[in-house]
Amino acid sequence: MNNLLLLELQRLGLPSSAAKALSQTWLHATHHICTSYGISVAHYANSFEKFLFGPGQGYTLGPFLWLLLFSLMVTSLLPTTPLTHLSSVDNQVEVADAGEAFVDDSRVG
């Protein structure tokens, strides 16, 4: 997903030098846990054995970056992709959508 996101950001106008800096930051970041007891000695980081996808939960840009990817996925759907149709009990209100996402729960089609 990192590469797709970086390509989408560049399509939207992000300079390639900024995309490269963001990519290198994600590639070399080391993550520690911070609690009221201090910062953990143990950490995790990106590696070939355990590749991390994107900035991680809690990152300020995370929701914005997820919105970009989700929008890209939804706009890439074929017109024949089934939608979810919901209606009220009295059929006064109908809603149809191609997908939705909230935090880490999402679905398309």
38-54 core/surface letters (b: 16 or more CB in 10 A; e: else): eeeeeeeebeeeeeeeb
26 within domain boundaries: yes
Which domain, by its residues, includes 18? 1-54
34 within domain boundaries: yes
Strands (E), the chain: 30-35, 38-45, 84-87, 94-97, 99-102, 105-108
pLDDT digits (tens, 9 = 90+) for 30-41: 888 888 999 999
Examine the pLDDT at 93 and tell me if it is beyond 70: yes
For residues 82 and 98, what is the distance between their CA atoms, to the nearest angstrom? 7
- Residues 98 and 81 sit within 8 Å (Cβ to Cβ): yes
pTM greater than the 0.75 cutoff: no
Quickly state the pLDDT bin for 49 (edges 50, 70, 90): confident
14 within domain boundaries: yes
- Residues 8 and 59 sit within 8 Å (Cβ to Cβ): no
